[in-house]
Chain A
Amino acid sequence: MEITNFNVLLAVLILVPVVFGVVAYFSPWDKLRSLSIVLCSVIVAAAGILITIEPNNTFELPGSEMIATILEVGIVAVILFIAVKIKNWLIILMSLVQMGVIIAEIILANAGHTVAHTYDFATDPLTKILILITSIVGPIIAVYAIGYMKSHQEHAPPTAASLGQFFFFFIAFLGFMNGLVMANNLKWFSFFWEATTLCSYMLIGQDGGESKKNAERALLINTFGGTAMVIGVLWLVVENKTESFEGLLLAKAVIPMVLLCVAAFTKSALLPFQSWLLGAMIAPTPVSALLHSATMVKAGSYLVLRVTPGFHDSTKVMMVITFIGALTFAGAALLAVTQSNAKRVLAYSTISNLGLVVACAGINTPLAYAAALAIICFHAISKGLLFLCVGRIEQKIGSRDIEDMGGILYRMPVTTSVALIGMMSMLLPPFGMLLSKWMAIEATIRSPLILIFIILGSALTVFFWSKWIGRIQTSSYHPKFNKETMDPAMGFSLITLALGVLLTGVGSMWIFNKFFAPITEQVFKGRTDISDVLWSVFTAAGNFAAVTLFVAVGIAFLAYWLLVWRRFKETDVRLPYLCGENAESTVYTTSAFHNSEGTRSYAFRSMGDKIENSWSSTTYLKNFICEKKATIWLNLIAWVIIIILLGEAHLL
């Protein structure tokens, strides 16, 4: 084993966060902890960028068989210990099954069952994208967490765990995630997978009390996925004598692939496994931003993207996978319409987008693959940003309800502008998310059933985002905006991610042509089942003149600035029309408009000159869509599909 740049960077990316996590755990002073987190962030970000520039490489760790097995046993033991402590029989059962599987593998190895040994870690373009996301977006969220947790801990209940424990799991998670995406050997992969589950459990339960139940649910569902994964790996070892991704794709082993996909569905919280992600929203906001939108849940979609290109022959299995993804996309969007809790809306939106990634991966054409990559990237940045904004807004106004977020444009102009950028980037051209959704619709065109779901899903997506965007920028006239004071760590993260969203939005077609297109071409070369028509649609999408969209936005802003911004006088301001009964002064003076921003009410004079408050709510369609019933039905359909999936793979 030589010390090359690649090896060093690999070690840095995986081990440095763990080391700094330990430092954070044991550091007695807050300042030392913050400093170590910032240092870790800088190192990890630099290492991530450097490894991306390095050409693709592989790494074999001597003695990795033994190390991986010990680590796997260790992590399953920890989960078993936790399960015993919380007395959850299902998790105990599943952990015992996992332990049994690992022991079976050890016995097999000792009995001389040879397994093709290949490299343990590797980077290829798909890995690099995820490393970039984890190493750049991750540290930014970590810096935000420094500022956020300061005030969070002041209001925390007495059952809350310490900040040291929080940051240990938070920072170490970055290392585990990097290891997960770089692992080629499935043993290492399952170790890192279970490690992220453990981090998620500890972080969700941070505040203690009520959140312990949600953490338990997350652990249950993720352990179910982990069990499916180790069973799949065992099958692969026994039947095909290999234990790496490379081997899996070469052997075209359908059963392990399906089991891995089921594990991916649990991690990515697709239907019917979405309840843990909704419950996980009780965790502090940085946790939701890092684990449950930007990185950990992407591990599931990464897994699906990695295994599906090799299985285009098993068309029925692919169709079922696509169907689950599409159902999730439409179902989660439908449920998001009924939510007024901001974090639940974001959670459902995340589930919805992950479903779309899985659907695109299942379709298995070049454009679909590129669309899946694009969604992963752009969604990570936008959703991370949105969670950070919601956390900040929640700290300021004390509520997570969308209906309470009126009037924040004046009180927190910077945060609101950043939140507006984030929300618009999820929905509108010319940002990346819209381009990826556009490509996804174009990619699914040949399968009408999937297409219907995607169309309904995107229409519903527009619905719930527009409601929210409209609510946060409701305001009255103010000649000057409030100066906003924010914790510098939080401010830095918000501004950086907002700039990231804008830059990737502006450069989205460039990114597509420079990164996603070559990756796709490499993955799909030699595939004889892709027709010319499909290739031409792929190239046409890459040639789209996105510049016209930017020119249009630029013209609008320029016209606004020239014609309105400087010419708009205070004497041009009028009251809103409330049939003439505005409770605010009818004589036009400046002081009339500087009333407190009643976030919900329009005050008007009623009978006897009494001042009444009216309130018009946004539409949640609660008469049509009852969340509980819809969830039950959707879960039922999704379970049926999972059983069909297992049946297609001849497992049942």
Chain B
Amino acid sequence: MFNAVSKSPWVVHFNCNSCNGCDIEFLACLTPHYDVERFGILHIGNPKHADVLVVTGSVNNRNARVLQNVYNQIPDPKVVVAMGVCTSSGGVFAGCYNILGGVDIVIPVDVFVPGCPPRPEAMIDGIVKAVGILERKRKGEVFPTAPKPTHTFKPSEEQSAEKTEIKEEKTV
């Protein structure tokens, strides 16, 4: 029997403590403009029916337990796609008193999609990559979890010089 899991990945979506920006962009993927249903992707509300867990927002003391619960209810093989920068480092909420950090503290993540919020194209890219991993998991490969994204935006030399000039002009 050929591998059908890549032709029909069903997605359950969980919002940890996101500002809803990533969620809205994800829901935009379901609209006719981007239409992920043509890949067979269905937005299922129930983890027991799902293959892909899409997580947004970062983990705090309260929803760590809930995220773990939802993850446990998804039958194997499953993949986790972490959308947005909040899921890897905490994003704009990093360092808050209640934020534990990224989602990979609680569950193993397969794909990180950086952005704040990531564009729908980037999200679809991430899900397609996750579905590829899902297919290989279905065949029995053991897959390591994804490394956290390390790239952060650093302004170039010219841009730093521009900023210093503007500052000096103002003080004068």
**A, B bound:** yes
Residue numbers in A under 8 Å from B14 (CB-CB): 580
Inter-subunit contact B73/A581 (CB<8 Å) = no
B67 CB contact (under 8 Å) in A574, A577, A580, A582: A580
Cβ-based interface call for B65 (8 A): yes
Known contacts A575-B73, A586-B72: does B48 contact A581 (CB below 8 Å)?
A: no
Contact with A along B50-74 (1 / 0, CB 8 A): 0000000000001001111110110
Residue numbers in B under 8 Å from A581 (CB-CB): 66, 69
Q: How far is the CA of A609 from the CA of B63 in the complex (A)?
A: 11
Residue numbers in A under 8 Å from B101 (CB-CB): none
Inter-subunit contact B48/A577 (CB<8 Å) = yes
Interface residues of B in 3-20 (CB under 8 A from A): 14
Inter-subunit contact A586/B65 (CB<8 Å) = yes
Inter-subunit contact A577/B47 (CB<8 Å) = yes
Contact with B along A231-255 (1 / 0, CB 8 A): 0000000000000000000000000
A577 CB contact (under 8 Å) in B62, B65, B68, B73: B73
Q: How far is the CA of A474 from the CA of B67 in the complex (A)?
A: 27
Residue numbers in B under 8 Å from A577 (CB-CB): 46-48, 73
Q: Which residue of A lies closest to B62 (CB)?
A: A609
Q: How far is the CA of A582 from the CA of B73 in the complex (A)?
A: 11
Residue numbers in A under 8 Å from B48 (CB-CB): 574, 577
Q: How far is the CA of A574 from the CA of B76 in the complex (A)?
A: 12
Inter-subunit contact B68/A586 (CB<8 Å) = yes
Q: Closest CB of chain A to B84's CB: distance in Å?
A: 20
Contact with A along B21-50 (1 / 0, CB 8 A): 000000000000000000000000011100
Q: Closest CB of chain A to B98's CB: distance in Å?
A: 13
| Number of A-B contacts defined by CB within 8 Å | 29
Q: Which residue of B lies closest to A609 (CB)?
A: B62
Residue numbers in B under 8 Å from A561 (CB-CB): none
A575 CB contact (under 8 Å) in B46, B62, B67, B69: B69
Residue numbers in B under 8 Å from A586 (CB-CB): 65-66, 68-69, 72
Cβ-based interface call for A588 (8 A): yes
Residue of B14, B65, B69, B72 with highest tally of chain A CB at under 10 A: B69
Contact residues on A (Cβ < 8 Å of other chain), bracket = 10 to 19
Inter-subunit contact B66/A574 (CB<8 Å) = no
Residue numbers in B under 8 Å from A579 (CB-CB): 66
Residue of A575, A582, A586, A588 with highest tally of chain B CB at under 10 A: A586
Q: Closest CB of chain B to A224's CB: distance in Å?
A: 58
Residue numbers in B under 8 Å from A580 (CB-CB): 14, 65-67, 69-70, 73
Q: How far is the CA of A587 from the CA of B65 in the complex (A)?
A: 9
Q: Closest CB of chain B to A571's CB: distance in Å?
A: 11
Q: Which residue of B lies closest to A574 (CB)?
A: B73
Q: How far is the CA of A588 from the CA of B72 in the complex (A)?
A: 8
Q: How far is the CA of A575 from the CA of B69 in the complex (A)?
A: 9
Residue numbers in A under 8 Å from B68 (CB-CB): 586-587
Q: Closest CB of chain B to A580's CB: distance in Å?
A: 4
Residue numbers in A under 8 Å from B46 (CB-CB): 577
Q: Which residue of B lies closest to A608 (CB)?
A: B62
Q: Closest CB of chain B to A568's CB: distance in Å?
A: 14
Residue numbers in A under 8 Å from B67 (CB-CB): 580
Contact with B along A61-95 (1 / 0, CB 8 A): 00000000000000000000000000000000000
Q: How far is the CA of A588 from the CA of B70 in the complex (A)?
A: 12
Q: Which residue of A lies closest to B68 (CB)?
A: A586
Q: How far is the CA of A574 from the CA of B46 in the complex (A)?
A: 13
Interface residues of A in 511-526 (CB under 8 A from B): none
Interface residues of A in 602-623 (CB under 8 A from B): 609
Residue numbers in A under 8 Å from B69 (CB-CB): 575, 580-582, 586
Q: Which residue of A lies closest to B47 (CB)?
A: A577
Q: How far is the CA of A609 from the CA of B62 in the complex (A)?
A: 8
Q: How far is the CA of A581 from the CA of B67 in the complex (A)?
A: 9
Residue numbers in B under 8 Å from A587 (CB-CB): 68
Q: Closest CB of chain A to B63's CB: distance in Å?
A: 8
Q: Which residue of A lies closest to B70 (CB)?
A: A580
Q: Closest CB of chain A to B3's CB: distance in Å?
A: 22
Residue numbers in B under 8 Å from A582 (CB-CB): 69
Contact with A along B64-92 (1 / 0, CB 8 A): 01111110110000000000000000000
Q: How far is the CA of A581 from the CA of B73 in the complex (A)?
A: 12
Q: How far is the CA of A567 from the CA of B61 in the complex (A)?
A: 37
Q: Which residue of B lies closest to A582 (CB)?
A: B69
Q: Closest CB of chain A to B66's CB: distance in Å?
A: 4
Residue numbers in A under 8 Å from B62 (CB-CB): 609
Q: Closest CB of chain A to B103's CB: distance in Å?
A: 14
Q: How far is the CA of A577 from the CA of B72 in the complex (A)?
A: 11
Q: Closest CB of chain B to A578's CB: distance in Å?
A: 9
Q: Which residue of B lies closest to A586 (CB)?
A: B69
Q: How far is the CA of A574 from the CA of B65 in the complex (A)?
A: 15
Q: How far is the CA of A575 from the CA of B66 in the complex (A)?
A: 12
Q: Which residue of B lies closest to A581 (CB)?
A: B66
Residue of A574, A588, A609 with highest tally of chain B CB at under 10 A: A574
Residue numbers in B under 8 Å from A574 (CB-CB): 48, 72-73
Contact with B along A579-593 (1 / 0, CB 8 A): 111100011100000
Contact with B along A4-45 (1 / 0, CB 8 A): 000000000000000000000000000000000000000000
Q: How far is the CA of A579 from the CA of B73 in the complex (A)?
A: 10
Q: Closest CB of chain A to B83's CB: distance in Å?
A: 18
Q: Closest CB of chain B to A616's CB: distance in Å?
A: 17
Q: Which residue of A lies closest to B67 (CB)?
A: A580
Q: How far is the CA of A108 from the CA of B104 in the complex (A)?
A: 101
Q: How far is the CA of A577 from the CA of B70 in the complex (A)?
A: 8
Residue numbers in A under 8 Å from B47 (CB-CB): 577
Q: Closest CB of chain A to B92's CB: distance in Å?
A: 24
Q: How far is the CA of A574 from the CA of B47 in the complex (A)?
A: 11
Residue of B46, B48, B72 with highest tally of chain A CB at under 10 A: B72
Cβ contacts A to B, 5 pairs, < 8 Å: A575-B72, A577-B46, A577-B73, A580-B73, A586-B66
Q: Which residues of A contact B (CB under 8 A)?
A: 574-575, 577, 579-582, 586-588, 609
The 4 A-B residue pairs with the shortest CB-CB distance, nearest first, are: A580-B66, A580-B69, A586-B69, A580-B70
Q: A577-B48, A580-B65, A580-B69 are in contact. List 4 more A-B contacts (CB 8 A).
A: A575-B73, A577-B46, A580-B73, A586-B65
